[in-house]
Amino acid sequence: MRRLLNITCGLLGIATVAALGIAYYLYAGFTGAGPSTEDTTLVIPKGSGVAEIAGLLKTENVIEDARIFQLGVRLLSEGKPLRAGEYVFPKGVSANGAMGIMIAGKSITHRLTIPEGLTVREVLELVSSEPLLDGLLPPERPAEGTLLPETYQFLRGESRASVITRMREAMDQALAEEWEKRDRNILVETPEEAVALASVVEKETSKADERARIAGVFYNRLRKGMPLQSDPTVIFAVTLGARKLDRALTYDDLKVDSPYNTYLVKGVPPGPIANPGRDALRAVLQPMSHKELYFVADGTGGHAFATTLDEHNRNVANWRKIQKAQQ
């Protein structure tokens, strides 16, 4: 009997050692360094199961053994799902580390930059042409001036409609914040008027230090009952934002019958002519105080400002000389 007991105990000991050895082998295979020798970018499709993910990681040489990965996930993930997405798996990452990346959902973020002063048509073209976004544009076209220009982060496969929604929400937030800080003596009476005037300022200059100054010019003209006489509003009157005007404005353009033609119609245009950025909004809501009534291009990318018409005419003559020399 004692001999049988000793044999049994011996067999149990061997089995225990073997089990521990196997467990150690599996654990080491799951937590040890993986075979990859460089960072690997990989897209985990939506709806992928653990077996599919394991096969993909194995095929891309991120992990050594798909079965060890599946077993490790089953035992050590604590029931947390592996999320779909686009990931960077660092070189030599362990199977356990790869699992952790997907559980945390640390997907790669991409960027889409919307420059200031684009029309809604131009913004939609940028969003539509971004290959990493998915789905169609929203069926309802956003109104002009409702999309905030800035750099947006997104994940591969995010819908185009959701990005447009974020742009609209960002504009609503920016406008609300800047309107609250406005100079109470400005002439615009509503946030919508502020966006309309800011869009004109945005199209007039790309120089940050000129925006508030140009806004001041426009307010001075409004106070005196003078038309704004802004060329970008005439361009919008001709195109309505539906196309790019691939030519210079003509004198006939300045006579076009449109509420957006600020050579003929006094006051702020009835709506935005583009999507202004936050800085242009701030410039209109906190304009520079001065007595200038005119500005014209100076040939350096900026503008020459004037208080009197005589001074402005000299600036215009100088600009025409520069144009002629450039031609």
**HEC readout, 146-185:** CCCCCEEEEECCCEHHHHHHHHHHHHHHHHHHHHHCCCCC
**201 closest CA partner among 125, 128, 295:** 295
pTM: 0.82
- The tally of domains found in the chain comes to 3
Backbone angles phi, psi at 125, to 5 degrees: -65, -40
Query: According to the model, what pLDDT value does residue 248 have?
Result: 86
- On whether residue 20 sits in a domain, the answer given is no
Confidence of residue 256 (pLDDT cuts 50, 70, 90): very high
Q: Which of 74, 89, 104 is the last residue of a domain?
A: 104
Q: Is the pLDDT of residue 203 over 50?
A: yes
- Residue scoring higher pLDDT (169 or 47): 169
**How does pLDDT run across 7-25, given as a tens digit for each residue?**
554 445 454 544 444 555 5
Query: According to the model, what pLDDT value does residue 18 have?
Result: 45
128 within 8 A of 67, measured Cβ to Cβ: no
The rounded distance, in Å, linking the Cα atoms of 203 and 241 is 13
- On whether residue 15 sits in a domain, the answer given is no
Q: Is the pLDDT of residue 62 over 70?
A: yes
- On whether residue 180 sits in a domain, the answer given is no
Q: Could you tell me whether strands 151-155 and 294-297 are parallel, antiparallel, or unpaired per DSSP bridges?
A: unpaired
- On whether residue 62 sits in a domain, the answer given is yes
State how far Cα 175 lies from the chain centre: 17
- On whether residue 69 sits in a domain, the answer given is yes
- On whether residue 25 sits in a domain, the answer given is no
Residue 256 DSSP symbol: -
238 shares a domain with 164: no
153 shares a domain with 77: no
Query: According to the model, what pLDDT value does residue 11 have?
Result: 47
**Which range of residues forms the domain containing residue 285?**
187-326
**How does pLDDT run across 271-303, given as a tens digit for each residue?**
999 999 999 999 999 999 999 999 999 888 899
Question: For 163-189, b where at least 16 C-beta lie within 10 A, e where not — what string?
Answer: bbebbeebbeebbeebeeebeeebebe
Residues 6+ apart with CB under 8 A from 168: 142, 146, 147, 148
199 shares a domain with 71: no
